Structure formats: structure tokens, C-alpha cells
Amino acid sequence: MSLNSDHAFKFGCGRYIQEKNAIGKYLAAEAKRAGTKAFVLCGNNGYKAAHEKIDHALTEAAFPYQYRLFHSTCCLENADELAEEIRKGGFDLVIGVGGGVLMDTAKLTADRAGAAIITIPTSSATCAAFTPHSVMYDRRSGATIGSLKLMRELDACIADLEVLVRQPARLFCAGAMDSMAKKIEIEHRYDPENCILGLDYAHTVAEMLYDQLDTRTEEVLRDMENGVISDAFERLIFDIIPVTGVVNGLSKGSNQSAVAHRFYEECRSFFYDETKDFLHGELVALGLLVQLSYTGSDPAPVLRKLEHMKLPVCLSDIGVPLSGAAVFERELCRSSAIRDESDSTRKRMHEALEIIVR
């Protein structure tokens, strides 16, 4: 089994292509480079966003393919069932089309089937189209159970700007906040005099990411509203997908995460029904307010940004009862982000959570 046994640095995917009409220009060549028959895994939204471009590219190239619509979550059971379909159908290439959960499922499925993997993101809500690991969930409860590191990087990621400019603004905002979180979370555990190998570089790149996204997101949202693929839009898509993925790789997939991402995981684990319709980046962004309060930083700039983007800013916005704050207090303190359940730390976390308890 090629999961959770590798400690190598892996920085994303072997080939990243980002252009207007990237699917039409490059998908057929990348598919031929990677395999001979494609299993195109997508959800309804991904199919609607990209199937015409995919159909045209692969049909023109006489490259055999078959769609498989997927509506569940990323877990070993689902991946193994899909991998069996792949083996029986003689497919040697998985093309994942869609958002975060779909990307994670496609990567894991390809790994389990021993197939090549190409991703086509139709959303920039996370960097999942680029990173060589999959966030896992319990198939029955929906609770998150952590991430599995894959042994090899993706064969290619094709980011078609004509597809991505049409994504809902909400998805872009969630991805922007997830990327901005990297700097804030790395600083939670970053000591320039004594840090793990790679984390100093991750911190430097994350600072650049934060500055770009902080200053240009509003401009890009206006461009997207008008359907304009501007230089700013292209740069921020590059920031959110591959550059954020490189930060992930430099920190080996977990050391860039702290309170904000743990907050997301506790939402999925303890309040799944309440939060299942909220995006990864939306919940991470809400956790950032707690992160900043906990470390004594000023959360006001991030709070104003979330309000401007119309993203959740408190527990009631995500349907979690105010009593849920006690669960977050307990679980965050015992998590890998804090690892301290002393009375003083619990008190500090309790006070930090007050910013979202309304």
C-alpha cells in the first residue's frame, strides 16, 4: 500500500499548465503522454463546467475515454471500488475534473489502481488539484479522518482560465482565504532559529502569497464578475493552485497547518450536518479568526475581509450552536496544533473563541 509511508519532499505535480483554453490546447497531448484510455471522474458541477472542452479535445485526438459521475466523499472504500472499475475497464489514466473532494478522490483512486492522474480544476476553492495527498473522510459519518500522503506526484494539472473565470465568486474567495491561511498558520509554529527543513522557505513563499491575495482579491472579483481573464486573475489563480501547493510540499503537507485547519477538521468531525454545505476554505477562514486571537494578533483585518467577501464570520453563520464553542475549546487544545490541555491554555483558547461565539 503506497500511503502514509513516504517522507520525501514532493512539491505538487510533474506538469502544471495554466492558459486560456488549456484543455483544448493541451489535454490530448498530456493524456497521450500519461496513458492510453481515460477514466474521467467528475461530479455534476465539474461535468457541466468542462465536459464540452474535454469531449472536443479527446474526440478530436481519437483518445478513448469514459465519464464516471461521482457523488460521494473521499475514502478508501470509494477509491477501491472505483479502482476496481478502472481495472475491469482497462483504463490506465484517471482524469479528475471538479473541486477539492473530487480531486482528492481522483488522486487516491489513481494511486489505488496504479493509474496515471491528470487533474482539471473547475474550482480554485483549494489547491487539491496540485498536491500529492488526499484528505480523507469517513464514508458513513462524513467526519474527517486526516490526510493520506501519496507516493508520487501528479502527472499533470491543467488549469483552463476560461473555465475558472466562470466559477462562482464564493469558490474563489474560499480558495483565496485557504491560501492566505498558510502564512498565519506557519507563523504559529515558526522559529527562524530552529525550524524543520523547508519550513523557512515555506514561510517566505507564504508571505508573498498573503500579500498578493490581500491586495488584489477585490480587483480580481470585479474582473470575474465581468468575465475578464485579467493579468491579476491569472496571477491569483497561479497563487491559489500551484504556489499554495508548493508551500504545502515544502512543509510536507502538515507543518503549514495549525489552529485554522484544525478548526475545519473539528467542524467536519463534530458538526458535520451543520457544516457539510460549507467549503473547506470558508471554515478555515473562520478558524483563522480564532488562530489570530489565540496568538495575540489583531483579527480585525481578516474579519473585515471575510465580511466584504460575504463569508461566515461566526458560529451562527455556519449553523453551529453557541454551545459548540466548548467542543472547539477542548478539541483544539488537545489537537496537534496546541497539545496543551492545561487550565491556562484552555482559558486562552476560550477567550480566543469568543470572537466567533455569536
Rounded Cα distance between 127 and 179, Å, is 8
**What is the grid cell recorded at 86?**
478502472
- The percent of residues above 90 in pLDDT, for the chain, comes to 87
- Whole-number pLDDT of residue 84: 98
Q: pLDDT per residue over 238-295, tens digit each?
A: 999 999 999 999 988 665 668 999 999 999 999 999 999 999 999 999 999 999 999 9
Residue 212 near residue 236, CB atoms below 8 Å: yes
Q: What is the mean pLDDT of residues 47-76?
A: 97
> How far is CA 143 from its chain centroid?
16
What is the distance, to the nearest Å, from the Cα of residue 10 to the centroid of all Cα atoms in its chain? 16
Average pLDDT value for residue range 135-144? 90
* Backbone phi and psi for residue 74, each to the nearest 5 degrees, phi listed first: -90, 115
pLDDT level of residue 3 (50, 70, 90 thresholds): very low
The predicted structure's pLDDT at residue 254: 62
Q: What is the mean pLDDT of the chain?
A: 94
Computed on alpha carbons and rounded to an integer, the radius of gyration of the chain in Å comes to: 20
HSE-CB for 299 with a 13 A CA cutoff: 23
pLDDT for 157-209, tens place per residue?
Answer: 999 999 999 999 999 999 999 999 999 999 988 888 888 899 999 999 999 99
Q: What pLDDT is attached to residue 4?
A: 53
The 3-class SS string of the chain reads CCECCCCCCCCCECCEEEECCHHHHHHHHHHHHHCCCEEEEECHHHHHHHHHHHHHHHHHCCCCEEEEECCCCCCHHHHHHHHHHHHHHCCCEEEEEECHHHHHHHHHHHHHHCCEEEEEECCCCCCCCCCCEEEEECCCCCCEEEEEEECCCECEEEEEHHHHCCCCHHHHHHHHHHHHHHHHHHHHHCCCCCCCCCHHHHHHHHHHHHHHHHHHHHHHHHHHHCCCCCHHHHHHHHHHHHHHHHHHHHCCCCCCCCHHHHHHHHHHHHCHHHHCCCCHHHHHHHHHHHHHHHCCCCCHHHHHHHHHHCCCCCHHHHCCCHHHHHHHHHHHHHCCCCCCCCHHHHHHHHHHHHHHCC
What pLDDT score was predicted for residue 75? Answer: 96
Q: What is the pLDDT of residues 332-346, one digit of tens each?
A: 999 989 999 999 999
**Residue 11 pLDDT:** 84
pLDDT at res. 207: 97
Examine the pLDDT at 146 and tell me if it is beyond 60.
yes
Q: Which pLDDT tens digit goes with each residue over 10-44?
A: 888 989 999 999 999 999 999 999 999 999 999 99
Distance, first Cα to last Cα, the chain? 45
